[in-house]
């Protein structure tokens, strides 16, 4: 049985982390799977600890805990002797390259989960890591990208086309499915009656997600309709969260917007919505939250960023980034044309194109193939 090690920074709530959990749960029957992660304490640890997948925290204490961290990482890999080391996101991808001299027979795979990210927004370190990725992209044995938009973007930055393969994310349509009981429960917790319209944005509080555009659209629709409430689900840096709260106050919609924080019960959260929204300005690859909402039968309005257009197909509406009025017009159009058949049409789009079974099959194929080229 092939030994596959996935390397990721943390197991906090996030699209990449959730997708990794989904993926390894599907692969562990075919492969000997281990997940190595830098920092302890992420809420998704429990998801993997409850399974029989090997889960090892490298106990990185802080950013500059480098030498000790590397010793622990190398020791674990020497013990496991993996056939494949699969990085997930920038830092982990780069580490696979630096580890290659220590493990020459191990195949190194990069996992890229975004498209046109502006690395400069994350400071000098983010910019440096991005530049290193461009320079070192010829060294991994394979580069797996979760979006066609990401593939196109990285090709323009010199990534080798022959080493790149696109595997879209997979959604668990048994976990994410229409659930009236969950809808009623969550809306009750938030004080939302059934005759109110609830529009939601699920995603970390990060400039990439462009909450300000969502909030400005919220202010516009609340001027036109009194039966609309909005919810933001996710957490982020305290300073940025405070900026968003200040903007909400300035727009006069404090009593219209719910800040729900992080939630573990995401299927229920999606079910509570009448419309799901992705207002991202840049950087998205394959946005899990769009597919999850759709699997629950919730129609989506998305900005034309990453593969969002590809995900919704003709079941939702696509608008330009940073255009609050376009969001409002699309919300109103969906509300005007909503019917009883729409939830199943939306859900079928995910079942037919982005089911976890397809993710497992595609990943198994490339893992088996890359280990044969020795």
What residues contact residue 355 under an 8 Å CB cut-off, 6+ apart?
170, 171, 173
Q: What φ, ψ does residue 236 adopt, rounded to 5°?
A: -170, -165
Q: What φ, ψ does residue 333 adopt, rounded to 5°?
A: -65, -40
Cα within 13 Å of Cα(21), Cβ side:
21
Question: What's the confidence (pLDDT) of residue 124?
Answer: 67
**What CATH topology corresponds to 3-170+355-372?**
Rossmann fold (3.40.50)
Spell out the domain ranges in the chain.
3-170+355-372, 180-353
Give yes or no on whether 3-170+355-372 and 180-353 have one common fold.
Answer: yes
User: What is the spatial distance between Cα 351 and Cα 171, in angstroms, rounded to a whole number?
Assistant: 8
CB 89 within 8 A of CB 9: yes
User: What is the spatial distance between Cα 194 and Cα 285, in angstroms, rounded to a whole number?
Assistant: 33
Q: What φ, ψ does residue 26 adopt, rounded to 5°?
A: -85, -25
Q: Please give the C-alpha separations between residue 67 and each of 60, 97, 103, in angstroms, as whole numbers.
A: 10, 17, 18
This prediction's pTM: 0.88
- What is the DSSP-derived secondary structure letter of residue 3? E
Nearest residue to 170 (alpha-carbon basis) of 6, 19, 373, 48: 19
Angle among Cα 367, 370, 372 to the nearest 5 degrees reads: 110
Per-residue pLDDT of the chain (374 residues; tens, 9 = 90+): 999 999 999 999 888 999 999 999 999 989 999 999 999 989 999 888 888 899 999 999 887 889 999 999 999 999 999 999 999 998 999 999 999 999 999 999 999 988 776 555 556 666 787 788 889 999 999 999 999 999 999 999 999 999 999 999 999 999 999 999 999 999 999 999 999 999 999 999 999 999 999 999 999 999 999 999 999 999 999 999 999 999 999 999 999 999 999 998 999 999 999 999 999 999 899 999 999 999 999 999 999 999 999 999 999 999 999 999 999 999 999 999 888 899 999 999 999 999 999 999 999 999 999 998 75
What residues contact residue 357 under an 8 Å CB cut-off, 6+ apart?
170
User: What is the spatial distance between Cα 374 and Cα 371, in angstroms, rounded to a whole number?
Assistant: 7
Question: What's the confidence (pLDDT) of residue 122?
Answer: 56
CATH of domain 180-353: 3.40.50.2000
Residue 319 pairs with which residues in a beta bridge?
Answer: 303
């Amino acid at each position: 049985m092939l030994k596959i090690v996935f390397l990721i920074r943390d197991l906090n709530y996030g699209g990449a982390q959730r997708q990794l959990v989904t993926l390894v749960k599907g692969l562990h029957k075919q492969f000997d799977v281990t997940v190595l992660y830098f920092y302890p304490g992420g809420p998704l640890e429990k998801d993997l600890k409850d399974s029989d997948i090997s889960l090892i925290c490298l106990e990185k204490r802080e950013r500059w805990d480098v030498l000790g961290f590397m010793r622990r990482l190398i020791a674990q890999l020497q013990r496991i002797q993996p056939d494949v080391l699969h990085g997930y996101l920038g830092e982990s991808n780069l580490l696979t390259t630096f580890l290659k001299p220590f493990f020459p027979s191990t195949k190194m795979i990069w996992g890229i989960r975004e498209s046109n990210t502006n690395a400069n927004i994350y400071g000098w370190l983010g910019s440096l890591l991005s530049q290193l990725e461009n320079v070192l992209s010829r060294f991994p044995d394979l580069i797996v990208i979760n979006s066609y938009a990401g593939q196109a973007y990285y090709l323009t930055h010199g990534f080798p086309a022959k080493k790149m393969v696109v595997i879209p994310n997979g959604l668990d349509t048994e976990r994410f499915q229409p659930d009236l009981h969950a809808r009623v429960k969550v809306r009750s917790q938030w004080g939302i009656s059934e005759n109110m319209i609830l529009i939601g944005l699920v995603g970390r509080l990060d400039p990439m997600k462009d909450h300000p555009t969502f909030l400005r659209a919220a202010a516009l629709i609340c001027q036109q309709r009194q039966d609309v409430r909005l919810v933001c689900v996710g957490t982020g840096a305290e300073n940025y969260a405070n900026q968003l709260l200040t903007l909400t106050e300035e727009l006069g919609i404090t009593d219209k917007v719910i800040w729900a924080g992080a939630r573990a019960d995401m299927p229920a959260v999606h079910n509570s919505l009448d419309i799901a929204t992705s207002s991202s300005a840049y950087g998205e690859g394959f946005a899990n939250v769009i597919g999850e909402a759709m699997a629950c039968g919730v129609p989506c309005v998305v900005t034309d960023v990453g593969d969002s257009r590809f995900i919704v197909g003709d079941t939702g509406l696509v608008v330009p980034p940073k255009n609050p009025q376009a969001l409002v017009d699309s919300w109103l159009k969906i509300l005007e044309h909503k019917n009883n058949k729409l939830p199943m049409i939306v859900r079928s789009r995910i079942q037919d194109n982005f089911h976890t079974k397809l993710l497992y099959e595609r990943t198994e194929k490339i893992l088996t193939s890359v280990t044969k080229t020795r």
